Amino acid sequence: MCFFEILKQTIMQHGKLFSVMVSLAITIAVTGTSISYAVYDVPNDDAGCPENCRQIPWKAGSDVWNGGTLPVYPSVNCTVGLTEGNGTTDNTTAITTCLTNAASSTAVKLPPGIYYVNGSIYIPSQKVLRGSGMDNCTQGTTPAPVAGSFGGPSWSLSPSFKGDTGAGAACTTLKLGASGAVYIVQDQNHTSAIRGTALTLSSGYTKGSTSITASAGGHGIVANDWIVIYEQPDTAVPVTATGTYGTCTWCGESNLANRLMSQIVQVTAVNTNTFTLSRPLFYTFKSGLSPGFRKLTWWGQKAGIEDIKIHGFADGGNPLMSATGVLYPWIKNVESYNDRDTAKAFHVFTQYIYGGEFRHNFFHGQRATSSDRAYGIAFFFTTTDNKVEDNIVREQRHVTAQESGGSGNVFLYNYLDDSVYRYGTDWRDGPRWNHGAHPYFTLVEGNAATSGGVDHSWGSSSHGLWFRNWFWGDLSGFYSYPGPPTAFTSTNPSDSFQAVRVDIDNTYYSLLGNVLGRTGLHTTWSAATYHPTTGCANGSRSVPVVYWVGCDDNGGSYNANAWDTMIRHGNYDYKTVGVSEWTGGADHTLKASYYYTTKPSFFGSCAWPPFGPEESPTIKTLPAKERFEGGSTCKGTSSDTTPPMAPVNLMILP
């Protein structure tokens, strides 16, 4: 056996790199023998669940149904009956009339100005509510950075300016009263009508399968119907609705905690009791866990919100925007400000949606961060193949959250920052890609975020892939944010400074090529804890944590299930100032993306991928972050797809 084969086996056995740099682009020659190492890929064996089935063919949003771009409906102007101005005259009826009268596949366009809305606006199926813009306001000024120990960058999108009014207005704002809300087709109270009778499956429920068989006839399913597939909890994963705060009674398909893993698919053909599916199944279900399905009947499809500002002017019992029981919804180029101090009144609330796309938005500002408040964008119950891409989400408690299930959703190239509990605590917070059982096969790629997090508040999750993100374990700014005086007071947070947070019972995660930590802000990474197992030290500005993995929601005792089932491969961290673990094996060159084959067009001339361990490490411009900070260096287009260099400064933990 040659020297390189011995070396490669040794590396694979130990799962770490002994000061060896390998790259697909580099060929090493010794004694006349050369070898090139392959690009690393996470295990992709459909028959190898749960440990070795860590990929699915991710495809989400408009990529599923419209060739990768959202429809552009022609505009029809809505002016009749509108009362523009920063007043209290309700425009709900006027806007509703425009939407009702518009033809199918039309965008109802509101002129520039501020329009008070104190009722429910329902956007019908195959229609769009469109403003005249959300980021081109001509009046008002952008505030300077807030003074204080945390400081902060200036911003191009104002955190307090609500929009234009009167002469010279250029952008459109909906000013929502206590009863004001915008619904894509249907409101959040209409879920039961979309779900049919629960039926059982006899076969075909294995990962990768595109054919399933019902146990009996009389199912009523025909070609082009949609179904949701599920099973009872598999304790071997584990799949559980029980977490730190008790059992999640709303988690799972149709509020049933015994149907936590679920997936929405379309039936493309029916042969007696056998259905052909539009997408392969994401996971192998077990015959002993009562795999089943039920028909879904959508309230509507292909409807959205575009080019508008949404101002949460008053507390009320509604989300600012929401979609329930909708096929292919979207929200694009929308700025929403100041969500409400009311349960579930998030910026964006979704449940039972498929193929939705949420892109190029700016969601920010909050009145409270107590329980069930201050979410940027939230997914409830079964949601599948949805895309959240190129957004800015700031000043929320949970800037993103998947709650009570979901599968195959992707979060790509977003800027997610300054997440914090304001009331009674001093915790830094962040995205929660699990905040209620049991999301699985979530792809998180290319984001710049305060952290990467899945909690144990209301149960488990599994099989997430986090690739080439920059998780700071820190915050960029100070949170004294213009708004209601009593709502925006805070001390600087000092706890929960973690780059990666994966609580107990979140298993079979794969973390590849991420950058963990950040210099120049508030944390001292040289004093960081790499992976606490005793007492689950929470992390502070002076002693942050690289991997807070295997702990419970509030710390407490340590359980190794999350850590032992996790692949940590090629992550650069600021504690060891290098890549300390290659637990996936000897192949250390990383691909550019698990979602795209070429650079996405919205990157323009920006380098892609933006983050990774290469170059000790790679930190390039993220378009969403640049947009917030007012930069313009990457505008335009570029065909640059140069692969990243091999990682350098690699080491073993001392």
421 and 273 inside one domain: no
Report yes or no: 272 and 217 within 8 Å, Cβ to Cβ: yes
Mark which of 263, 296, 329 sits at the end of a domain. 296
For residues 55 and 509, give the distance between their C-alpha atoms in angstroms, rounded to a whole number: 11
Residue 425 pLDDT: 62
Q: What is the mean pLDDT of residues 38-45?
A: 95
Residues 6+ apart with CB under 8 A from 354: 226, 264, 327, 328, 383, 384, 385, 386
For residues 415 and 401, give the distance between their C-alpha atoms in angstroms, rounded to a whole number: 15
Of the listed ranges 92-101, 366-375, 496-505, the one predicted with least confidence? 366-375
Give 398 or 180, the one with higher predicted confidence.
180
Q: Does some domain include residue 53?
A: no
Mark which of 296, 312, 334 sits at the end of a domain. 296
Q: Which of 582, 258, 621 minimizes the C-alpha distance to 470?
A: 621
448 and 589 inside one domain: yes
Q: How far is CA 164 from the centre of its chain?
A: 31
Residue 632 is encoded by which pair of tokens? 């313009």
Query: pLDDT tens digit string along 115-136?
Result: 999 999 999 999 999 999 887 6
Mark which of 275, 296, 317 sits at the end of a domain. 296
pLDDT at 633 over 60: yes
User: Of all helices (H) and strands (E), which one includes residue 469?
Assistant: none
For residues 388 and 573, give the distance between their C-alpha atoms in angstroms, rounded to a whole number: 26
> Reduced to 3 states, what is the DSSP secondary structure of residue 614?
strand
Mean pLDDT of the chain: 85
Residue 361 is encoded by which pair of tokens? 């938005």
User: Percentage of the chain with pLDDT > 90?
Assistant: 65
Model confidence at 203, pLDDT cuts 50, 70, 90, reads very high
Q: What is the mean pLDDT of residues 157-172?
A: 74
Residue 560 pLDDT: 94
Report yes or no: 303 and 126 within 8 Å, Cβ to Cβ: yes
Q: Does some domain include residue 439?
A: yes
Model confidence at 87, pLDDT cuts 50, 70, 90, reads confident
289 and 418 inside one domain: no
Residue 316 pLDDT: 85
Model confidence at 482, pLDDT cuts 50, 70, 90, reads very low
pLDDT at 645 over 70: no
Q: Does some domain include residue 464?
A: yes
Q: How far is CA 491 from the centre of its chain?
A: 28
Q: Does some domain include residue 54?
A: no
Q: Does some domain include residue 268?
A: yes
Domain that holds residue 259: 196-296
Query: pLDDT tens digit string along 417-440?
Result: 988 775 556 778 889 999 999 999
Model confidence at 144, pLDDT cuts 50, 70, 90, reads very low
Model confidence at 651, pLDDT cuts 50, 70, 90, reads very low
Q: Does some domain include residue 168?
A: no
pLDDT at 236 over 70: yes
Q: Does some domain include residue 310?
A: no
Task: Indicate the number of domains in the chain.
Answer: 2
154, burial (CB in 10 Å: exposed 0-12, middle 13-18, buried 19+): exposed
Query: pLDDT tens digit string along 574-588?
Result: 999 999 999 999 999
Query: pLDDT tens digit string along 517-570?
Result: 999 888 999 999 999 988 788 889 899 999 999 998 777 789 999 999 999 999
Q: What is the mean pLDDT of residues 395-410?
A: 90
Q: Does some domain include residue 383?
A: no
> Reduced to 3 states, what is the DSSP secondary structure of residue 5?
helix
- For the whole model, what pTM was predicted? 0.90
pLDDT at 64 over 80: yes
Give 237 or 85, the one with higher predicted confidence.
237
For residues 546 and 55, give the distance between their C-alpha atoms in angstroms, rounded to a whole number: 25
